[in-house]
Amino acid sequence: MTAASSVRHGPKAELEGCVARHARAPLTGAWELDWLPVYAPLDPARIMESTCHRCRVVSYEYLLIGGAFAIRRTDATLGTPKLHETPRVRRKLADQWWAALVSGAAH
Ligand SMILES: [Zn+2]
């Protein structure tokens, strides 16, 4: 899987530069978003924002999917990326989730 190999080599990839911001490590007491497993084929989505997938094995995308908003988590810790998404909600709530995620208030 080329997608997997492109995100797995953390220390080496880090030298090539980051492709986006990093989500902060969860702070003490961070709450957990409701992560639901996602399977291919993925629904068409527009990526509004994303975090770096080059030097982090867990990355996030803020998505617009069919008029609703969700956050997708890609975890490549064990090689083949595992995908999870939050429930699809209105933008106001998704904005709050995204802000909490990248600031470390949620994970
Ligand atoms: Zn990075």
Q: How many domains is the chain built from? A: 1
Q: How many whole angstroms from 23 Cα to the centroid of ligand 1? A: 10
Distance 92 CA to ligand 1 centre (A): 27
Burial of 62 (0-12, 13-18, 19+ CB in 10 A): buried
Residue 74 Cα, ligand 1 centroid: separation in angstroms?
14
69 Cα: distance to centroid of ligand 1 (angstroms): 24
pLDDT band at residue 13 under the 50/70/90 scheme: very low
Q: Residue 16: its pLDDT value, please?
A: 66
Instruction: Determine the longest span between alpha carbons in the chain, in angstroms.
Output: 38
Separation between Cα atoms, residue 67 and residue 102, nearest integer Å = 23
Q: Which pLDDT belongs to residue 55?
A: 87
Query: How far is the centre of ligand 1, averaged over its atoms, from the C-alpha of 34 (Å)?
Result: 25
User: What is the C-alpha to C-alpha distance for residues 104 and 20, in angstroms, rounded to an integer?
Assistant: 16
Q: What would the mean pLDDT of 11-30 be, rounded to a whole number?
A: 80
pLDDT of residue 1 exceeding 60, the answer is no
- Banded model confidence at residue 12, pLDDT cuts 50, 70, 90: very low
Lowest mean pLDDT among 62-66, 76-80, 93-97: 76-80
User: What domain range is 53 assigned to?
Assistant: 2-24+31-103
